[in-house]
Structure 1
Amino acid sequence: MTRRRTVVAVAATVGVLAAPTWLWQASLLPSSYAATDMGYVDDGRAAPGSGSGSGSGSAPPGAVHDHTAPGGGSRSVEQLTAPADRSADVTVELVVREETITLADGTSVEGYTVNGASPGPVIRAREGDLVEARLVNESVPDGATLHWHGIDVPNAADGVAGVTQDAVPPGGTFTYRFVADRPGTYWYHAHQMSHEQVRRGLLGALVVEPAAPSAQPADDVVALVHLYDGVRTVNGSPGDTHVDAAPGADVRVRVINSDNASVQVWVDGAPFRLTAIDGTDVHEPGLVEGRSVEVTAGGRADLVVTTPADGSGARVELGGTAAVVLGPPGAAPPAARPPRDRVDPLSYGTPAPLGFDPAAATRTFEYRVGRRPGFLDGRPGMWWTVNGHLYPDVPMFMVTEGDVVRVAISNGTGAVHPMHLHGHHAVVLSRDGVAATGSPWVVDSLDVGVGESYEIAFVADNPGIWMDHCHNLPHAAEGLVAHLMYEGVTTPFRLGGDNRPE
């Protein structure tokens, strides 16, 4: 009897140890793997809420593990390019280096520069221009790429290491070509080890002006917000940045939030209008006083401020520790406490046609963000999940060009997740079941707060393999990543090794 008990005890112990050992072993990533090998395909044709809605982590009905196109036809991401026979209208060379960055107040931080500075140069184009940007990696040791955040580039120019290109090693080059067909405020940043390279300064602004800019304010200011070792800056300068503006002038302030959390923006001393979100104009924006605008991590907001006629100036507060001061030389409007109320894009502005019918969706997906214990590449911890799945066993959302796509996004975690879909803009249909009533709220970066749910819709009109991930970049590095894949698109590039996009 004693021997039998011992055998049973040993067997039970082996069983207990075997389960976590198997889970650990199963979590180990291969040395290299294709994005198309990750997880399962969700074709969006199953009923919402079915299958994995219980949180069990099983794939929903309609999900398959075959990533090939029906009929066998395929295109490589390398073929999805701007017109090869068209000459560039805007040409820029961007040389990236690892070096010491000296901020305007004399603070030195170790990071990355673009053309000797951080942020890098502001690239300006006009609507319809073909932009050609040549990346030169002079000394970024882990390799470099550039992603054009918010620009719906052709997939070959998306800049995601291991998905649309290989990371550019020191001494290497890569040329990006795309048509800037949507006027607005955008930015570019690293998408190789992005959680580290973006934080350390490998970024810059990109502005696309309308083809007919006559209605635009004469004064146009870029305000790229970034934290360098905990110091909030505007265009690399801590504290106040003064911009000369005549009394009574309209000034467009293009706020770009390059950080991992949202930033509150408000104006002291003058009313303003929120004229664009993520590069898309707001229809009939109303005058705003006593409210702030929340700018999502990775997101942009254009504010048009009319400076006071008495010359006293106005302050555009960017989180309360940095500001853009608009007015004549010497204007010093006092800082004020942040307003309690915020502009709600769900109801701001007035309705306008969307250009498509979300009710006619041909694909419907769920993107449920969760968290649970497990192993990620052999590391135990609490990791983010997508529809109950740990990376890399996350869904591949499959679409066909021309599909109308609806996505229900929900956040079941204790953290905010600024979700960013590459290559597309989506319209917000509802938040927590409340339908949008204002101007079409069109985004490429969307804060999904704790316990919140959103429904968004877009047209699948840009073939490729596109990341759909959290732009709190450490969260992405911890597995909060999925992909949108068009049927028939393949990639020769491999994740792992020298290609580490997050």
Structure 2
Amino acid sequence: MSRTGRRRLHLGRQRLRLAVACGATALIVGLLGVFWYNSRLPASYSVMDMGHAEYGGGPIGSMPHDGHDGHAGGEEPAADGAASAVPALTADQGGAPDVEMTLVARAERFQPPSGDWVDGYTLNGQSPGPVLRVTAGELVQVRLENESVAEGVTLHWHGLELPNADDGVAGVTQDAVAIGAEHTYRFVADQPGTFWYHSHQLSHEQVRRGVLGALVVLPQQATSPDADPPDADPADADVVALVHRYGGKSTVNGHRDDLRIPAAPNQRVRVRVINTENGPMSAWVGGASFRLVAVDGRDLHEPTLLEGTAVLVTAGGRADLEVTMPTDGSGVRVQLGGSAVVLGPASAEAAEVPRPAETVDLLSYGTPADLGIDWGTPDRRFDYDIGRRPGFLDGRPGMWWTINGRLYPEVPAYMVAEGDIVVVHIANHSGEVHPMHLHGHHAVVLRRDGEPATGSPWWVDSLNVSDGESYDLGFVATNPGIWMYHCHNLPHASEGLVAHLMYEGVTTPFVLGGPAGNEPE
């Protein structure tokens, strides 16, 4: 071949390679453009249009949710049933409330008890907001007024199993409360325990910056000599210890220094630890032994004494520690991450002790109790598999959390019918820990990494799932509604780690986005 021919052949090959490269690039750019375009969220959409329905082996209801009627799987529709709208799922509206409170939300610069100035939000001019203490069985009415929070605000009653209409989730159970507007929550607090409340509108910002407070439901006291004794001696001390970081500094009830609580020798003190942060926290006791008597508002069965052992409290979780004060009048330190509660006489010293190497294992702590439920033959079985992969979320490229391999909003809607026995297998393969919070229900831990639970029934609404861990959880679907099931590391939720538990026949008129600007995470 002549030199001219070889040159033409070489140029032709170069052009072909260039054309192939350009074509491949155009294909990749085109595909990325399609993924980008398809990931964009509309200005207004319903959670009922999100993702795909999963029925967990149970029947498909006769009234499938919009956007969730394409799931077949060979299952037959259930019997006809009437639809219920979320606003109708409320407590009895008749009668005067036993407990009534107004909370006024403001955007302002404020000083928590620590004395540090914070640019954030307050409730009635303070953060944390007022402690709401009620007795089990009381009808509670809380009016939320928004004085100056521009993005709107709501209140979610974290861990309390109340009717769906009062769950406080913007775009799912209500609209965010705009400036100058108000919203009234009305519910019966029928579960004794330690809970908390916080905004569920832009929660990753509003909770961090101050829209939160403690909620304590005390057990009913005995009313006659023949009645059962109360769960706690009225003479015992009861202490709320809400842990929150303001400006990166850890506080207890807003105090950066040790929170000192008077306690007499031999007195029992219940310390209600509430972790409002985005990650797990350790709690431990120096100067006395203690019992872990409750987790997430549920008492443990026959808890034993602990000493030289720490308790892990996940984000959003609660742990009630019971301490019996030493008879010699010395102090006791309850260490809560970087903060502490000191119990004892005013002059008592309580030296800091390092975190114990051991952590109590709730899979075996306490003794078993028969729950009367056959978890081996549930009506529904679901998988909630957490991962991470690159992709687009509302047009933004990045590494995002996935549920069962899919990015938000193409996530599962876990469909149940009232009365179903449900088992959820939750697994974490994402590289980070996730505190998983189920609204409106408590679930009992059945297994961790395949190992059966052997201790007290371990009920949770906020579960710490470390990377590489898996849990099998069981609950009975007794609270109709549309309920979030999301990571309570709230920035993770805003990055797509959100699904919903949906009851057949329940609909919602509320939308994400829209005129109210609803944005729960």
- Report the TM-score when normalising by structure 1: 0.94
Aligned match of 1:495:
512
Q: Does the 8 Å contact 1:285/1:350 carry over to 2?
A: yes
Aligned match of 1:162:
171
RMSD (Å), alpha carbons: 2.0
Deviation at 1:4, TM superposition (A): 6.3
CA distance in 2, matches of 1:107, 1:314: 27
Distance 1:199 1:62, change over 3 A: farther
Q: Does the 8 Å contact 1:69/1:487 carry over to 2?
A: no
CA distance in 2, matches of 1:480, 1:9: 37
CA distance in 1, matches of 2:241, 2:20: 68
Q: Does the 8 Å contact 2:112/2:126 carry over to 1?
A: no
CA distance in 2, matches of 1:323, 1:143: 34
Q: Does the 8 Å contact 1:44/1:62 carry over to 2?
A: no
Aligned match of 1:98:
107
CA distance in 2, matches of 1:12, 1:444: 49
CA distance in 1, matches of 2:198, 2:280: 17
Given the alignment of the two structures, is residue 26 of structure 1 paired with residue 38 of structure 2, yes or no? yes
Q: Which of residues 422, 432, 436 in structure 2 aligns to 1:415?
A: 432
Aligned-partner SS, 2:256: strand
CA distance in 2, matches of 1:456, 1:172: 40
Equivalent residue pairs, number: 488
Aligned match of 2:447:
430
Aligned match of 1:38:
50
Q: Does the 8 Å contact 2:114/2:251 carry over to 1?
A: no
Deviation at 1:454, TM superposition (A): 0.2
Amino acid in the other structure paired with 1:344: D
1:310-355 CA distances to partner (integer Å, 9 max, x unpaired)? 1111000001x21100001111211111100011111110011224
Given the alignment of the two structures, is residue 479 of structure 1 paired with residue 496 of structure 2, yes or no? yes
Amino acid in the other structure paired with 1:96: A
Q: Does the 8 Å contact 1:42/1:63 carry over to 2?
A: no
CA distance in 2, matches of 1:137, 1:108: 22
Q: Does the 8 Å contact 1:70/1:487 carry over to 2?
A: no
Amino acid in the other structure paired with 1:265: A
Moved more, 205-214 or 274-283: 205-214
Given the alignment of the two structures, is residue 265 of structure 1 paired with residue 277 of structure 2, yes or no? no
Deviation at 1:176, TM superposition (A): 0.6
Aligned match of 1:127:
136
Aligned match of 2:65:
none
Aligned-partner SS, 1:16: helix
Distance 1:177 1:252, change over 3 A: same
CA distance in 2, matches of 1:62, 1:480: 26
CA distance in 2, matches of 1:159, 1:495: 13
Distance 1:266 1:156, change over 3 A: same
Q: Which of residues 314, 322, 330 in structure 2 aligns to 1:312?
A: 330
Q: Does the 8 Å contact 1:158/1:164 carry over to 2?
A: yes
1:205-258 CA distances to partner (integer Å, 9 max, x unpaired)? 000011137331421000000011110000000020000011111000000000
Amino acid in the other structure paired with 2:196: W
CA distance in 2, matches of 1:188, 1:390: 29
Structure number with bigger Rg: 2
Aligned match of 2:271:
253
Amino acid in the other structure paired with 1:138: E
Aligned-partner SS, 1:288: coil
1:155-195 CA distances to partner (integer Å, 9 max, x unpaired)? 00000000000000011100011111110000000000000
Amino acid in the other structure paired with 1:297: A
1:380-403 CA distances to partner (integer Å, 9 max, x unpaired)? 000000000100000000000000
Q: Does the 8 Å contact 1:103/1:238 carry over to 2?
A: no
Aligned-partner SS, 1:226: strand
Distance 1:423 1:97, change over 3 A: same
Deviation at 1:63, TM superposition (A): 9.8
Aligned match of 1:188:
197
CA distance in 2, matches of 1:191, 1:354: 32
CA distance in 2, matches of 1:474, 1:69: 38
Moved more, 480-489 or 325-334: 325-334
- Structure 2: tracts of 5 or more residues without a match: 1-8, 59-69, 223-229
Aligned-partner SS, 1:372: strand
CA distance in 2, matches of 1:62, 1:273: 48
CA distance in 2, matches of 1:256, 1:109: 21
Aligned match of 1:116:
125
1:27-48 CA distances to partner (integer Å, 9 max, x unpaired)? 00000100000000000118xx
1:427-451 CA distances to partner (integer Å, 9 max, x unpaired)? 0001011110000000000000010
Q: Which of residues 270, 283, 297 in structure 2 aligns to 1:279?
A: 297
Aligned-partner SS, 1:274: strand
Amino acid in the other structure paired with 1:20: L
CA distance in 2, matches of 1:11, 1:69: 51
Q: Residues 2-401 of structure 1: matches in 2 within 5 Å?
A: 2=12, 8-45=20-57, 62=73, 71=80, 73-212=82-221, 214-217=230-233, 218-319=236-337, 321-401=338-418
Amino acid in the other structure paired with 1:286: T
Moved more, 260-269 or 69-78: 69-78
- Report the TM-score when normalising by structure 2: 0.91
Aligned-partner SS, 1:360: coil
